[in-house]
Amino acid sequence: MCHHSRMARILAVAPVLPPHVATQAQITAELAEGMTDDPAARAVMQRIHAASGIETRHLALPLAEYRGIEGFTATNALFADLALPLAERAVTAALAEAGLRVDEVDHLFFTTVTGLGAPSLDARLATSMGFRADLRRVPSFGLGCVAGAAGLARVADYLAGHPQGVALLVAVELCSLTLQWDDPSMANVVGTGIFGDGAAAVVMVGDAHPALAAAEPRARVVGSRSALYPESAEMIGWRIGESGFRLMLAAGVPALIDGHFAGAVDELLAEVGWSRAEVDDWIAHPGGPRVLESFSAALDLAPAALASSWAVLARAGNMSSAAVLHVLAEGGPRPAGTRAVLFALGPGVTAEIVALEWS
What is the rounded CA–CA span in Å between residue 169 and residue 154? 9
CB environment 253-277: b (16+ within 10 A), e (fewer): bbebbeebbbebbeebbebbebeee
End-to-end CA distance of the chain: 20
Q: Choose, from 90, 145, 179, 264, the residue flagged as catalytic.
A: 145
Active site (annotated) includes residue 2: no
Angle at Cα 304 formed by Cα 300 and Cα 309, nearest 5°?
A: 95
Residues labelled catalytic: 145
